Amino acid sequence: MKKTDPANASGADTSRRRFIAGAGTAIGAAVLVSTLPRSAQADDLPHLSPTDATAQTLGYVEDATKTDKAKYATYAAGDTCANCNFFQGSGAWGPCQLFPGKAVNAKGWCSAHAKKA
């Protein structure tokens, strides 16, 4: 018959409790972040600079009307980050899926613009 070492059983219980407590904290933090208003998250993001290497590659400008229309023939009047499928904000600045960790200007534009359906 197999004997259970009370010291190990107690240690396992402690480990299990720590794991459950840690998992609960992580889940709680994830729920908190996902329920924050989008504007609160966007406000914390640094603004994407038009001089950023990727921004320059994609021809990002903070004012869509300043787009180099000769260079970017795909630009159409009225196209802005605000009506782009990659824009995830609702204010003057918001996250863009192409520039993680940065906020783009809702009035901006880049050559990856994809009009919202």
Residue ranges binding ligand SF4 (CB under 6 A): 60, 81, 84, 86-87, 96, 98, 104, 108-110, 112-113
Please give the Cα distance from 68 to 110 (Å, whole number).
10
Q: In the numeric block, which tokens belong to residue 27?
A: 């889940």
Which segments of 36-101 does DSSP mark as H helices, in order? 38-44, 53-57
42 vs 113, beta carbon nearer ligand SF4:
113
Burial status of residue 117 (CB atoms within 10 A of its CB: 0-12, 13-18, 19 or more): exposed
Beta bridge partners of 99: 96
Closest CA to 71 of 84, 80, 85, 58: 58
Q: How far is the CB of 34 from ligand SF4 (least distance, A)?
A: 21
Q: How far is the CB of 72 from ligand SF4 (least distance, A)?
A: 11
10 vs 74, beta carbon nearer ligand SF4:
74
26 vs 92, beta carbon nearer ligand SF4:
92
Q: How far is the CB of 96 from ligand SF4 (least distance, A)?
A: 3
25 vs 57, beta carbon nearer ligand SF4:
57
